[in-house]
A and B are shown apart, each in its own frame.
Chain A
Amino acid sequence: MASRSSIEGRQGHWVEWATGGLSALLVLAMVGVIAWEALTDKRTPPELDVRLTSRFQVADGYRVTFDISNRSTTTAASVVVRGEILDGGEALEAVDVTFDYVPAESKSSGAILFSQDPGSRDVRIRALGYTDP
């Protein structure tokens, strides 16, 4: 690569300085955003919120899909979510599913597979707990 010899030595083409300047701006912008984040954000514990998105019959059971969102600035790990079919406050069936992560200010989605059709009975899906990553 002889043609590359002493590329650093020259005073530099204007393109190089323009690229350098643009890069410096990008780095500063990124540092700015993260610094602002660092200064203003309080580390609130994860706030998990489950919302049902769809429910339908599948081959050998019943599927209820849901989104789980985390509004806080802390990520929750190993989030256990339990789905229950309720009959007058009694749980007829309970199914657990575990999310590896529900990242801060983001959402994940999943599904609970019941063995029976809940029909007109209530379906409750809630997060049971989590660990800090």
Chain B
Amino acid sequence: MASHPAAEEDTELRQFLIGIGRGATGALLFGLPMLMTMELWQLGFYIERDRLLLLVLVNFPLLVALAHSVGFEKTYTLSQACRDAMIAYGLGILMSAIILLLFGDLKLTMPLSEVVGKIAIQAVAASIGALLGRSQLADQSGSGDATDDNDVKGEGAVKDQMSGNYGQELFLMAVGALFLNLNVAPTEEIILISYKMTAWHALVTIVASIAIMHAFVYAVSFKGTHQAPADTPWWHILVRFTLPGYIVAMAVSICVLWLFGRLDDKAITQMLMSSVVLSFPGAIGAAAARLIL
């Protein structure tokens, strides 16, 4: 191998470029619904700048943690995860800018703050998409060795890492919830639905969210990598996974609604109602994230 350093470098570069391509595709796949939502363009100029800054800053550690859990290339070190996250963020920004330009939503005559605001909001979902794209669109062949290695290490470490793995599960749920939330939270319908609903509707929505989520979680428990023994009682999984998952989805919903200024000047019951509404897709996203990621 040492006699062909150039050839090896070539394949490495090729692999890297393929990764970039997958990331860009992922950014498009996950970002387009938001890029084509009018309310998000408007948020680009009226969102409060301190909240936008917070969103943009929080996105980075989130991407790093996500890269660490599901990264395309097995990331073992923090610096590798940071590098992948940064690439994904960059791809997200680039793809958002290109698509917004393509749609004529960005013009050269616009003030800088509007242009940056519009791109920054879109880049969050697009960068998550870029990161997921790199892992989900990757072909699994050839990575067998790495997985096996991981298996051996994983089995040995399982007992010590219990709470760590559990934290990762909840984190993945949060990403799933965030993803679906970002898609629907900016639309006026979320607010409108919460105004149309009575408290009774909200109660049924909570029960339905938890039930649907539990169906997902329970189904996943017996599939693929989540092999639960058949005698695990259903309520064990409800208490340990579904309910915390729902609370995670609820917390993410509240954060997203606040970020988009949907909770300002509202009575506490109105805040609760719109959070319940947004948690419905959030809970499904959270549960599905465990199935997909």
Shortest distance from the beta carbon of B206 to any chain A beta carbon, whole Å: 6
Shortest distance from the beta carbon of A103 to any chain B beta carbon, whole Å: 5
Whether A105 touches B269, Cβ cut-off 8 Å, given contacts A20-B239, A20-B243, is: yes
| Residues in chain B near residue A7, CB distance under 8 A | 165-166, 169, 226
| Residues in chain B near residue A101, CB distance under 8 A | 191, 195
Task: Indicate whether A82 reaches chain B with its CB closer than 8 angstroms.
Answer: no
| Residues in chain B near residue A34, CB distance under 8 A | 199, 202-203, 206, 269, 272, 276
Q: Which residue of B lies closest to A19 (CB)?
A: B244
Instruction: Count B-side interface residues using an 8 Å CB cutoff.
Output: 55
Docked complex Cα distance between A26 and B245 (Å)? 12
Task: Indicate whether B151 reaches chain A with its CB closer than 8 angstroms.
Answer: yes
Contact B198 A6 (CB under 8 A): no
Q: Which residue of A lies closest to B226 (CB)?
A: A8
Q: Which residue of A lies closest to B248 (CB)?
A: A23
Instruction: Count A-side interface residues using an 8 Å CB cutoff.
Output: 45
| Residues in chain B near residue A104, CB distance under 8 A | 195, 267, 269-270
Docked complex Cα distance between A21 and B236 (Å)? 11
Contact B157 A3 (CB under 8 A): yes
| Residues in chain B near residue A41, CB distance under 8 A | 199
Question: What number of residue pairs across chains A and B have CB atoms under 8 A from each other?
Answer: 145
Docked complex Cα distance between A72 and B165 (Å)? 47
Shortest distance from the beta carbon of B140 to any chain A beta carbon, whole Å: 13
| Residues in chain B near residue A91, CB distance under 8 A | none
Whether A38 touches B199, Cβ cut-off 8 Å, given contacts A4-B165, A10-B162, A20-B243, is: yes
Known A2-B151, A6-B225, A26-B250; further 20 A-B contacts with Cβ < 8 A: A1-B69, A1-B225, A3-B158, A3-B161, A5-B154, A5-B155, A9-B228, A9-B232, A10-B162, A16-B166, A19-B166, A23-B244, A24-B243, A27-B206, A30-B250, A33-B269, A34-B199, A34-B202, A100-B188, A106-B270
**23 contacting pairs across A/B (C-beta < 8 A):** A1-B70, A2-B150, A3-B150, A3-B161, A3-B165, A4-B154, A13-B162, A13-B163, A16-B240, A19-B170, A20-B241, A23-B246, A23-B247, A27-B210, A27-B246, A30-B206, A33-B269, A34-B276, A38-B198, A100-B188, A104-B269, A105-B269, A108-B265
